[in-house]
Chains A and B, each alone.
Chain A
Amino acid sequence: MLDLHKLEQSIDEALASETTESLTEWLLNQRDRNLSAFLGDGYFEALAPTSIIFKQNTNSVLTTVETCDIPNDYQLAA
């Protein structure tokens, strides 16, 4: 038979013994551990930066123009 009173007592005692520092450190360790578990074993490799240069040899640009007739005299709406 599960003793709920003992379970509650153990939580209350654990919380009562915590300080801001101890709790923060424990939480951050948990997050670090979870991140390591997600990423798996390994290490980060520093990669050399790469860059790409685009060079334009001509100034000509292809464009399309669409035109439509627009009347100059607008009628006022009634």
Chain B
Amino acid sequence: MGDGYYFWNDEIDALHWGGNSKRKTGYFEIYSATISCENILDTVFNEEHYKFWIKQIEKAAKYIIKKTNIKPTISEINQYFKEKAKWENLTDGIMFQDLPHSTDLLVINFNYRKRIQLVAYKLKIIHNFALHATHEV
């Protein structure tokens, strides 16, 4: 999703992420924070923002493919918004839904729980940042 400070909405997603991505170090830490979301593009719960988000992604991706013949990746399209379109000056970050699959889901082939992430562009919206837990892998 490009440069920024990333947070999960649910602790279970942080646990899965750490368990899968931190095998080399053998442990990981989870930090908690309160995020001010007044100036966040909320593509998860705000329908207007969600439709706007899709429209901008598809418009920019089509343009990039047409001009370069290269399909942008998820981090590239978001970095383009932040850096080239200067969204970091207009919004404090983006709340979005990560890949939907998770091993904790209790119904087969039904990703009923959103794996919500938030990327904060600015430190000023992050409050009460503190160590929450340490886990061994």
User: Which residues of A pack against B, CB within 8 Å?
Assistant: 1-4, 6-8, 10-11, 13-15, 18-20, 23-24, 26-27, 30-31, 34
Contact = CB atoms under 8 A, between A and B. Distances in A.
Interface of B: 38-41, 48-49, 52, 56, 59-60, 63-64, 67-68, 70, 72, 75-76, 79-81, 84-87, 90-91
23 contacts: A1-B38, A2-B91, A4-B49, A6-B90, A7-B52, A7-B85, A10-B86, A10-B87, A11-B59, A14-B85, A14-B86, A15-B60, A18-B63, A23-B67, A23-B68, A24-B67, A26-B84, A27-B68, A27-B72, A27-B76, A30-B75, A30-B79, A31-B76
A23 B52 CA distance: 23
A15 B85 CA distance: 8
A24 B75 contact: no
A14 B80 contact: yes
Contacts of A27: 64, 68, 70, 72, 76
In the complex, the 9 A-B pairs of residues with the closest C-beta atoms, listed nearest first: A14-B85, A11-B85, A10-B85, A14-B84, A24-B68, A20-B67, A23-B67, A15-B63, A23-B68
Nearest to B40: A2
A14 B63 CA distance: 11
Contact of A30 (B40, B41, B76): B76
Contacts of A8: 52, 56
Given A10-B90, A11-B59, A23-B67, A34 B75 contact: yes
A23 B41 CA distance: 25
A2 to B, nearest CB: 6
Contacts of A10: 85-87, 90
A2 B49 contact: yes
A2 B39 contact: yes
Contacts of B67: 18-20, 23-24
A59 B69 CA distance: 58
